């Protein structure tokens, strides 16, 4: 049972960190798809010709900037009262100018709270001190931290947003000086397209800024008996763990056999009854066949 719990805990922790890290950079691919609409002008608007060059050259406007880092973390704590531990974590997160983005409470059949799961958002500058202080709240069994550098992605977003804003300003000026209805229609269409791209990029940029400013920490809190055994780190420890795993397997097998044994007499009676009915039907068919073959008396 301990081996299974440890596998579940490790899988949950690794999956969580991978999802939190990859979700931060996953939107970049979506934004490229959404903003790959050609920026070249339609034939009826001669003054729009410089926009493609603007989008390309704007990539150099933020050649020097501070690093943009998204930090995520995972912690597994245990305490006699998981709900009280969760309340203390929430209290400390607010003291660090953070917040709780999610809270899930799990209870047993008697209504006793057995575990609590928290999604905590902490200012990036405070995450180290916050994680260090967790051992003052409860027993820390697992603690991991991951950082993802998204500087290039953020720089690209800033360049695209700046270029689109400049392009929209020029289209707005062109719209006021349009001389024909056809020119006005084409300019308005191009303007609407660029405005949609800008709003999408701005939305994604807000997401990045939020992830950079506030680190995400997933904290699972359980009872002391929910803590798994440490993973063996040597040959002898592996043998001991394997031996206990073997005993657990045979113990489970014996339990299964014990559950089946009371049903054996019932199954035997059903099998005997079925066999008796089959044999009786066969005897009847045989007697009917013999009587049918007897010659009639003269």
Starting at the edge strand found earlier in the chain, the sheet holding 214-222 runs 99-107, 113-123, 214-222, 69-78, 139-149
Closest among 288, 255, 285, 39 to 163, alpha carbons compared = 39
Q: Scanning the structure block, which residue is given the tokens 């056809």?
A: 182
| Predicted confidence (pLDDT) per residue in 38-75, tens digit | 333 433 343 443 343 344 434 444 445 578 999 999 99
Q: What is the mean pLDDT of residues 159-172?
A: 94
Q: What is d(CA 117, CA 105) in angstroms, rounded to the nearest whole number?
A: 7
- pLDDT tens string 184-234: 999 899 999 999 999 999 999 999 999 999 999 999 999 998 765 555 556
| pLDDT-based confidence at residue 295 (cuts at 50, 70, 90) | low
The CA-based angle 128-13-119, given to 5 degrees, is 60
pLDDT on residue 291: 64
β-bridge pairing 69-78 and 99-107: unpaired
On average, the pLDDT of the chain sits at 78
Global pTM exceeds 0.75: no
| Range scoring the smallest mean pLDDT among 249-253, 260-264, 289-293 | 289-293
What percent of the chain stands above pLDDT 70? 70
Phi, psi (5° rounding) for residue 218? -95, 125
**Sign of the C-alpha dihedral, residues 76, 109, 261, 258?**
positive
pLDDT at res. 3: 38
Task: Kindly list the distances between the CA atom of residue 225 and the CA atoms of 4, 13, 80, 113, 135, in Å, as whole numbers in the listed order.
Answer: 14, 19, 9, 13, 18
Question: How many Å apart are CA 49 and CA 38, to the nearest integer?
Answer: 12
């Amino acid at each position: 049972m301990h081996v299974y719990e440890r596998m579940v805990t490790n899988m949950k922790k690794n999956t969580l960190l991978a999802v939190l890290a990859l979700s931060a950079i996953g939107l970049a691919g979506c934004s490229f798809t959404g903003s790959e609409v050609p920026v070249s002008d339609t034939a009826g608007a001669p003054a729009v010709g410089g926009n493609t060059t603007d989008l390309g050259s704007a990539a150099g406007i933020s050649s020097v900037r501070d690093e943009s880092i998204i930090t995520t973390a995972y912690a597994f704590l245990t305490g006699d009262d998981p709900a009280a531990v969760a309340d203390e974590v929430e209290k400390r997160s607010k003291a660090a100018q953070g917040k709780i983005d999610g809270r899930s409470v799990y209870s047993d059949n008697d209504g006793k709270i057995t575990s609590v799961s928290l999604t905590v958002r902490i200012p990036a500058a405070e995450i180290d001190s916050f994680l260090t202080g967790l051992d003052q709240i409860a027993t820390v069994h697992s603690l991991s931290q991951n950082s993802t550098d998204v500087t290039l992605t953020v720089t690209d977003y800033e360049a695209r947003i700046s270029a689109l804003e400049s392009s929209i300003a020029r289209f707005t000026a062109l719209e006021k000086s349009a001389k024909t209805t056809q020119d006005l229609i084409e300019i308005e269409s191009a303007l609407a397209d660029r405005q949609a791209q800008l709003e999408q990029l701005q939305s994604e940029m807000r997401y990045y800024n939020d992830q950079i400013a506030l680190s995400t920490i997933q904290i699972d809190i359980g009872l002391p008996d929910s803590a798994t055994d440490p993973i063996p780190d040597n040959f002898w420890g592996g043998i001991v763990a394997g031996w206990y795993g073997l005993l657990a397997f045979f113990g489970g097998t014996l339990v299964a056999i014990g559950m089946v044994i009371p049903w054996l007499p019932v199954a035997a009676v059903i099998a005997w009854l079925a066999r008796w009915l089959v044999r009786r039907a066969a005897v009847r068919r045989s007697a009917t066949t013999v009587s049918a073959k007897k010659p009639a008396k003269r």
